[in-house]
Amino acid sequence: MDIAAAPPWAGAPPLFDAAAVAMAMADVADGRLSRVNPRFADMLGEHPLALSGRHLADLAHADDREAHLQAFRSLVEGGSDEAALDLRLVRSDGSAVWVLMSLGLLRGADDRPRCVLAVAMDIADRRAHEQARRAAAKEERRRLSADLHDTLGQHLAAIAMAVRAIGEQPDIPAAVREQVRRLQEMVRGLDDDVDRLVHALRPSLLESLGLEEALRSHIGAWNRDHAPQVDLQARGLSGRRLPQALETTVFRIVQEALNNVARHARATHVGVIVERHERELRAIVEDDGVGFDPATVESSAAGRHFGLRGMRDRATAAGGTIEIESRPGQGTTLFLSLPL
């Protein structure tokens, strides 16, 4: 049918009303519903006529509405003819149902967009399965964390005591004493590595509290175990969640940078700044320690020891960049920039 001059509902796909999936048609200009099929109305506990004229975005949960509006705008402004996203639709009784909402443009004979077709598929079972899987993975991380702490940690403590006892013997040769000192350094390094693994495997505060609170918790624990104290300044993060992958990237890079400070910097002042801007997330970790030559370290095996390559890889995978400014005797500043 030529729908160039027809009303929007004239372009409804065949079997629209009889479809087993929820379908609705919305005006391109303002997103108002012109027609819904019985399955769509049943999903929301409404009569089809009661939904006519309502904004499609108004049916979304308040926390999902902005994402829906962005997808709709991108569709009608020519970014793409199709869009899809997970969101919650609010039923007439106030309850919410998770759906996969697919949006597509229906065009007339003149190829001009005439209306938006929305198809909603109930994904409550899928999300429940994903939540159960995440809970199981979190419990497994907790168990591994406890096992590492209780077994390997205890063995390392016993080794450290034995090595220290050897070093305290009064008559050992100087060469042996030097070997003991190196062994002590290796054991301390292994102990630090185990501590990091234990912390990394613990269920993350990122999932429940977000980036700012996770950083405050981590730095609070860091300050209890290390000197000097770290000063954290977070701006633009309160009450605003970022994508989980992005939060994890920032948290892990800040965590690794602080590990480097603890191991190598011998600093007296350490500061962390994390700022959210309109299109960019920035993090800065700065210390006044001994510093180093970044080019020399990153081109050598020491780069792996400092974790610099891993931090760059994390930033690059998230579409961001890391810059490191440092000179021997002049401290170190790490700049992280990630696009939003």
In degrees, rounded to 5, the angle at the alpha carbon of residue 123 between the alpha carbons of residues 30 and 127 is 120
Give dist(CA 185, CA 172) in Å, integer.
19
Give dist(CA 302, CA 324) in Å, integer.
15
Helix/strand/coil for 335: strand
pLDDT at 213: 87
Tokens of 34: 């012109």
210-340: CATH architecture: 2-Layer Sandwich (3.30)
Is the predicted pLDDT of residue 66 greater than 50, yes or no? Answer: yes
pLDDT band, very low/low/confident/very high, at 237 (cuts 50, 70, 90): confident
pTM of the entire predicted model: 0.48
What are the residues whose beta carbons fall under 8 Å from the beta carbon of 232, sequence distance 6 or more? 215, 216, 219, 271, 272, 273, 274
Q: What is the mean pLDDT of residues 247-274?
A: 90
CATH class for the domain made up of 8-122: alpha beta
**280-327 pLDDT, tens digit each:** 999 999 999 999 988 887 766 544 445 788 888 889 999 999 999 999
pLDDT at 45: 94
